[in-house]
């Protein structure tokens, strides 16, 4: 709902400012409730003893998927904005709303996928129901004293105090640093360094790095051959892109987000 509100081109009036505030509150609430619960669900996928050893790999895939999306998002947003400006003749300010509309559509698609494949994690929901029943039955024996409860609440508040300021500082990369990039950095790049602003080149570099890991860790000739093939293909792609560079490349401020760790 928050991204849907952000996708509405309401201009710059008071209504637009209020709508943006409401949308940010909704996004914050939705993200807070969604992300924590999703992490718990991922962890419970591996509660069974035969899957427990794969838990770390599961979380690695989980976070890797999030970071892959974050790396492609700036390029996708810029392309959507330019499409809206060129094809629909909208202003630069209004073109931002189309990027948020696509984000809203992607969230709707993710919810549809979540429910469509719910049969694959029924055991997680079942174990959650069972754990609730177990907690209810053991409530009297495991109930904390007032002193213990107070101590834990104080610890949580101290953690909250640190975390709030940490994330306030961290997320300046999406606001203050983006404005800094817009106003105080060079708007064009050329030569070898310009390749860093093309996400496909970054992906090729990632393939080279992981190919090297695969080459070092593979214990079979077939595995080493595949890794070597990936490395050669990625380097060939990078060489092709470098040999076809055409002068200076325009650099949009949001594209710096793809370097955000």
Q: Are residues 193 and 90 in the same domain?
A: no
Q: For position 126, what pLDDT does the model report?
A: 64
CB-based contact 195:249 (threshold 8 Å): no
Query: 174, 180 in Cβ contact below 8 A?
Result: no
Of residues 250, 203, 166, the one with CA closest to residue 69:
203
Reported as a single tens digit per residue, the pLDDT across 83-139 is: 988 888 888 888 888 888 888 898 889 889 888 888 877 777 665 555 555 555 455
Q: Are residues 136 and 198 in the same domain?
A: no
- Per the domain annotation, does 236 fall within a domain? yes
- pLDDT value at 229 more than 90: yes
Among 141, 175, 204, the domain-final residue is 141
Is 153 part of a structural domain of the chain?
no
Q: Give the domain extent around 55.
A: 1-141
DSSP the chain: -HHHHHTS--TTSHHHHHHHHHHHHHHHHHHHHHHHHHHHHHHHTT-STTTGGGHHHHHHHHHHHHHHHHHHHHHHHHHHHHHHHHHS---HHHHHHHHHHHHHHHHHHHHHHHHHTGGGGHHHHHHHHHHHHHHHHTHHHHPPPHHHHHHHHHHHHHHHHHHHHHHHHHGGGGTHHHHHHHHHS-SEE-GGGGGGG-HHHHHHHHHHHHHHHHHHH--SHHHHHHHHHHHHHHHHHHHHHHHT--S-EE--GGGGGGG--
pTM of the model: 0.70
**Which two three-digit tokens encode residue 91?**
């202003």
Examine residue 5 and state whether it is found in any structural domain, yes or no.
yes
In this structure, are 137 and 196 located in the same domain? no
Residue 52 lies in a domain: yes
For residues 205-226, give the mean pLDDT: 89
User: Does residue 133 sit in the same domain as residue 16?
Assistant: yes
- Residues 113 and 16 occupy one common structural domain: yes
Q: How far apart are CA 34 and CA 48, in angstroms?
A: 24
105 lies in a domain? yes
Q: Which of 131-140, 162-171, 208-217 has the highest mean pLDDT?
A: 208-217
Give domain status of residue 83, yes or no: yes
Judged by average pLDDT, the poorest of 29-43, 158-172, 204-218 is: 29-43
Has residue 163 been placed in a domain? no
Residue 96 CB neighbour total at 10 angstroms: 19
DSSP-assigned beta bridge partners for residue 250:
188
Is residue 112 located within the same domain as residue 240?
no
Q: Convert the pLDDT of each residue in 35-63 to its tens digit.
A: 778 888 888 888 778 888 888 888 888 88
Domain assignment present for residue 9? The answer is yes
Q: How many CA atoms lie within 13 A of 36 on its CB side?
A: 5
Note whether 78 and 252 are within 8 A (CB). Answer: yes
Q: Are residues 118 and 241 in the same domain?
A: no
Average pLDDT value for residue range 230-245: 91
Domain boundary among 105, 125, 141: 141
Residues 101 and 4 in one domain: yes
């Amino acid at each position: 709902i928050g991204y849907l509100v952000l996708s509405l081109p309401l201009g710059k009036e008071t209504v637009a400012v209020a709508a943006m505030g409401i949308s940010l509150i909704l996004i914050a609430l939705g993200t807070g409730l969604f992300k924590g619960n999703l992490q718990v669900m991922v962890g419970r996928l591996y509660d069974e003893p035969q899957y427990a050893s794969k838990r770390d790999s599961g979380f690695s895939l989980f976070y890797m998927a999030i970071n892959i999306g974050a790396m492609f998002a700036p390029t996708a947003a810029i392309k959507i904005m330019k499409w809206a400006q060129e094809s629909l003749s909208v202003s630069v300010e209004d073109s931002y709303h189309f990027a948020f509309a696509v984000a809203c559509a992607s969230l709707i698609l993710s919810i549809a996928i979540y429910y469509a494949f719910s049969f694959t994690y029924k055991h997680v929901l079942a174990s959650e129901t069972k754990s609730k029943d177990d907690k209810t039955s053991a409530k009297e024996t495991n109930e904390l004293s007032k002193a213990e409860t107070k101590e834990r609440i104080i610890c949580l508040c101290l953690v909250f105090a640190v975390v709030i300021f940490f994330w306030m500082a961290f997320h300046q990369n999406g606001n203050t640093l983006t404005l800094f990039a817009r106003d105080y950095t060079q708007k064009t790049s050329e030569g070898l360094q310009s390749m860093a602003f093309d996400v496909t080149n970054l992906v090729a570099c990632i393939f080279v790095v992981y190919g090297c890991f695969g080459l070092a860790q593979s214990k079979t000739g077939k595995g080493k051959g595949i890794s070597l093939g990936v490395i050669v293909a990625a380097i060939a792609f990078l060489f092709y892109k470098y040999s076809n560079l055409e002068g200076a490349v325009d650099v949009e401020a949001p594209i710096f987000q793809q370097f955000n760790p």
